[in-house]
Amino acid sequence: MSDVIARAEAWLVDDPDDTTRAELAAVVEAASDGSDDALADLRDRFAGFLEFGTAGLRGKIGAGPNRMNRAVVIRAAAGLARYLTDSLGVQGIEGPARVAIGYDARHGSYDFAVDTAAVMTAAGHEALLLPRTLPTPVLAFATRFLDADAGVMVTASHNPPQDNGYKVYLGGRVVSDEGQGAQIVPPHDAEIASRIADVESVASVERADRGWTVLGEGVIDEYVTQVAALVPEASAGGDTAARRAATRIVLTPLHGVGGETVDRVLRAAGFGDLHTVTEQAEPDPDFPTVDFPNPEEKGAIDLALELARSVGADVVIANDPDADRCAVATLIDGEWTMLHGDVVGSLLGERIAEHRALLRMAPGSQVLANSIVSSQQLGAIASRHGLAHANTLTGFKWIGRTPRLVFGYEEALGYCVAPQLVRDKDGISAALLIADFVAELKASGRTLADAIDDLARAYGVYLTSQVSARYADLAEIPATMARLMAAPPATLAGSAVVATDDMSAGFQGLPPTTGLHLAAESGARVIVRPSGTEPKVKAYLEVIVPVEGDDVAAARTTAAATMDELRADVTAALGI
């Protein structure tokens, strides 16, 4: 006990924040007085430094090195500043790096952003702070638009309210290939982490009290203008303006920072019949109307669906709190239904592929990409339209840096529809393209449900699902993976397994990653991998059923029955 209390007392001396100092002092006092709960809390807070990886930092807000707080952020900013200095120095470039910094409305975000600007300025770099709380896609856009060498976004995306995070992009002169403006990947993450580890103390880090630039509204205006231009101008003639004006859209930012920007982009493109969920319209770091601020979670968009029913909406669009994800709901058989991320990814992929195919560019010069755990349908879409397709590892840090990318997505509601603007998922530009598609469909008396049927007729029914096993003992995760690798199932949903691939040895040209790929003769596929953010093993399931004649309903019934069998097989294999 004395060791952890001594470390906590040393941290207290170095903590620059009155609030977290007081919080930690109270825990130390309780632990010293014999509280087992306080001692356990203290040990967790000092179990190590919050790990800096390819997602940057993300964790619970609080005092101590294993939490998100000003002390941890200042150290991270110092390590990043040192890395930028070294990276430019290796190239023989003298002078400052340019760093764009954004922040959302979560607890602590503004302070973390200002601390980052103060550290960068003191280190001799040019810090450009966005003027107010804004969505992650705006910061990602600004990183490229301002030709910044790095971008920092303070956000925990769709995590619970007690969390915050620190996402890093590299570009400018530091990364100049297809990854310019994308999230960090190895070896950059490890190199930044090593410099963070070299920081002796917060007190040793110089921080300026002025000297950084607070940007004006121009960069936001530019983002809105360029995103709105992704669809044809409503003033260009024809019935474009009329059909957009006639399209009724329900929106919710889920208490996040995307509401204003989504509204501006849609209105700039000619959509005026917009209805935002009042209870969720304003940024609120406590997310009071939802249990979990992720549109994928059950109940998160219930208020939006209720509003859609009351106003007779044509579509519901929900963004997560930092607006890098986009959820879509539509009427199917008279019921408002939220679409799976793979369905939206295929709808957007088909629409973009159709338009790109008309350009008649050289084969392979345009690429559709999705994560390996997302549906295989995007590959079929690319093939049908003469475009190339690429699978990537999970996460937009990989999707966004795909060479010659024109569209990329992952099943967790992330879509990159304009990589020339944002090399990351962008729920705002995706919302615009969905709205434009809905308007076009409505003008011909059709809906997204009809477009989904069109996909089935063209490619067959692709049905995806997930099974996950949660573990209290983290040691059970590698044990489960090892057991599956040693004895994988011989059949999946009654069909013989024809491929068993250990993804740690590399798979389909991808870098090694922990995972197991199983493919059945029927076309069914399963990928099993440990979660990167939770104590889970996740299995991603897919069945493919061709449509005979025009009977989409029969194919869907068959797919659903096959998926039930597949889910039972995988559940048994996982031992849950």
Q: Which residues are catalytic?
A: 157
Q: How far is CA 576 from the centre of its chain?
A: 28
User: For the chain, first and last CA: distance in Å?
Assistant: 38
Bridge partners of 462? 544
Least Cα distance to 527 among 414, 388, 370, 399 occurs for: 370
SS3 content of the chain, % helix, strand, coil (to 5): 40, 20, 40
Identify the CA nearest to 322 among candidates 466, 180, 214, 163.
163
Q: Where does 235-376 have alpha helices with state H?
A: 240-245, 259-268, 302-311, 341-357
- CA angle, 481 then 484 then 489, to 5°: 155
Which CA distances in Å does 436 have to 236, 259, 288, 440? 15, 18, 31, 6
Give dist(CA 523, CA 517) in Å, integer. 13
Cβ 207 vs Cβ 115: under 8 Å = yes
* Distance in angstroms (rounded) separating the CA atoms of residues 125 and 172: 13
Q: Are 203 and 117 in contact (CB under 8 A)?
A: no
CA 250/CA 273 separation, integer angstroms = 9
Compute CA distances 255 → 176, 223, 240, 276, 302, whole Å: 36, 21, 31, 11, 14
Q: Mutual orientation of helices 188-197 and 70-90 as an angle, nearest 10°?
A: 120
Characterize 17-31 residue by residue with b for buried, 16 or more Cβ atoms within 10 angstroms of its Cβ, and e for exposed.
Answer: beebbebbeebbebb
CA quadruple 438, 387, 396, 175: dihedral sign = negative
- What is the rounded radius of gyration, in angstroms, for the C-alpha atoms of the chain? 24
Q: Which residues fall within 8 angstroms of residue 443, CB to CB, at 6 or more apart?
A: 239, 242, 243, 246
Lookup: tokens for 489:
């199932």
CA distance 350 to 378: 8
User: Are the CB atoms for 301 and 318 separated by under 8 Å?
Assistant: yes
